[in-house]
Amino acid sequence: MVINLATDGVTLASTSRLQILGSRFVDPQGRHVLLHGINVVDKNRHEGYIVDEGPDLYARLRDWGFNAIRLGVIWDGLEPEPGPTTKHT
């Protein structure tokens, strides 16, 4: 899945897929792409480690010049106890 922050908020677009060419990310036209990223993670156990900011957060990040996010995953949120994982519906 590609989250394209450079357009009108959060948009999924197959035309914005990146590929790796050598040691660089390139767009479908072969142009070198620089990613300006930021971590998005909630480390609050009581909120279930879920970032619940909505589209406004991603619009602000875009406005600040970010075009990529790194989604943090807290293992304790996936497996609160050793053994079976928690299933959410």
Q: Which two tokens stand for residue 33?
A: 């792409």
Does residue 6 contact residue 66 with C-beta atoms inside 8 Å? no
pTM greater than 0.75 (yes/no): no
The domain segmentation of the chain, as residue ranges, is: 3-78
Strand locations in 23-88, DSSP E?
24-26, 32-33, 37-40, 68-71
Mean pLDDT check: name the lowest of 7-16, 18-27, 40-49, 76-85: 7-16
Question: What's the pLDDT band for 69 if we cut at 50, 70, 90?
Answer: very high
Helices (H) and strands (E) in the chain, counts: 2, 7
